[in-house]
């Protein structure tokens, strides 16, 4: 597995080695020893799988606050999505900066998102399936979010008006967030 830095501290792109032949492909989607390349060992405790039926579905931008903050390893297993993270760590030199990339079943990329980032994605194809591993169990009482279209973030989403929940439409702006991380 190749690991690429993104320019935001701790945020990394993983490219697994894909073996292809006339039957299809094979890859190792995760190896525990991957955590040796990180700043601290990670023990994932929960896997999540989401499916969005239409292109243009936006989920996010979400985070879990301490003490339930999560490291995540994410990828798309069917379809494609434009994935975005925002650094919410006040002490980070990249505080308030966003990073986006396309994750797809065709490119096999994984993204490691450390604690302290808000995360969201917009589906680019119908029937997109998104998977991720987390190192802390989902805790709704510690969930928060950031407004998807905050002008301060200047995220260039691939579609104008997304399909999303009212809750996700109404998260606070970055300037309104208290120091969480």
DSSP conformation letters of 31-91: -GGGGGGSSS-----EEEEEEESSTTBEEEEEEE-TTS---EEEEEEESEEEEEEEE--TT
Quote the distance between the C-alpha of residue 37 and its chain's center: 19
Task: Determine phi and psi for 21, rounding to 5 degrees.
Answer: -155, -170
Active site residue 49: no
Task: Determine phi and psi for 5, rounding to 5 degrees.
Answer: -75, 155
Active site residue 142: no
**Alpha helices (H) along 21-150:** none
**Alpha helices (H) along the chain:** 166-169
Task: Name the active-site residue from 19, 62, 137, 138.
Answer: 62
Task: Name the active-site residue from 132, 136, 137, 138.
Answer: 132
Distances (CA, A) of 131 to 3, 27, 107, 134, 175: 19, 15, 14, 10, 30
The span from the CA of 94 to the CA of 96, in Å, is 6
Q: Which residues does the annotation mark as catalytic?
A: 62, 132
């Amino acid at each position: 597995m190749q690991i690429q830095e993104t320019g935001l501290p701790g945020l990394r792109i993983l490219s697994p080695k894909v073996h292809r032949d006339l039957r299809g492909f094979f890859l190792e989607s995760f190896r525990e020893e991957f955590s040796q390349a990180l700043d601290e060992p990670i023990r994932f405790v929960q896997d999540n799988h989401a499916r969005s039926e239409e292109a243009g579905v936006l989920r996010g931008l979400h985070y879990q606050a301490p003490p339930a903050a999560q490291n995540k390893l994410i990828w798309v297993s069917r379809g494609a999505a434009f994935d975005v993270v925002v650094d919410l760590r006040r002490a980070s030199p990249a505080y308030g900066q966003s990073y986006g990339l396309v994750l797809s079943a065709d490119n096999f990329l994984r993204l490691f998102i450390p604690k302290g980032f808000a995360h969201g994605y917009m589906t680019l194809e119908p029937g997109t399936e998104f998977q991720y591993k987390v190192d802390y169990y989902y805790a709704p009482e510690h969930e928060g979010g950031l407004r998807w279209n905050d002008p301060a973030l200047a995220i260039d989403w691939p579609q104008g008006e997304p399909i999303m929940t009212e809750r996700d439409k109404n998260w606070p702006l970055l300037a309104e967030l208290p120091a969480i991380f």
